[in-house]
Amino acid sequence: MVSKRKRSRLEALAKSNDIKGFLEEFQKESDRATAILGAAYLDEHLLQLLSTFLVDDEGEVGELLGTEKPLGTFGARIRAAYCMGLLAKEDFEDLKIIKAIRNDFAHQLHGLSFNGESIVKKCEKLRAVKRLRPNSYHSSREMFVFTTTYILMELCVHSIMFEEKRCQVPSVTEVVQSLSV
């Protein structure tokens, strides 16, 4: 039997290899693939973060987070994670911009790139690069990739941090006692 601590370390190692592989592939893709894959990967990590934080009831959590469920979309997961205190305001704002960029690339059939005026304007609003590299120039694609990578790392750290703070279902006795205080 593998201890919980050892299993957690093995899972972290597997995730780091997964992230490394993703980042290598992610940076070589076309602009469209970069925008869509980056957002999809962030969406998956938001799903993992929320799953880690919510009560340990796979069926009920699945009813919230599954496809076509209340928290089954990238936008809903961004908002829920922020409202639960799992994301900083700056990361929340950057994730909304990443979602908008992803939508632009997903819904325009051709001719869109990170050099297009509308995408450049959105990328210029990304805060992570400005916070961490305030006096350096980056192309809009570099800003998108940097911000996506930064938030991805933040989500991984948060998943570990909030695993210890998982929501707990109170017993009926605890609820009654809290009402009588």
Is the model's pLDDT at 53 over the cut of 60?
yes
12 pLDDT above the threshold of 80:
no
- The domain spans of the chain are 4-179
**Of 48, 45, 41, 4, the residue nearest 26 (C-alpha):** 41
* pLDDT band at residue 15 using 50, 70 and 90 as cut-offs: low
Q: Which CATH class is domain 4-179?
A: mainly alpha
Query: Over 70: is that where the pLDDT of 8 sits?
Result: no
pTM of the model: 0.82
35: CB partners within 8 A, 6+ apart: 101, 102, 104, 105, 106, 114, 144
What is the distance between the alpha carbons of residues 85 and 53, in angstroms, rounded to a whole number?
11
Total residues found in the chain within this entry: 181
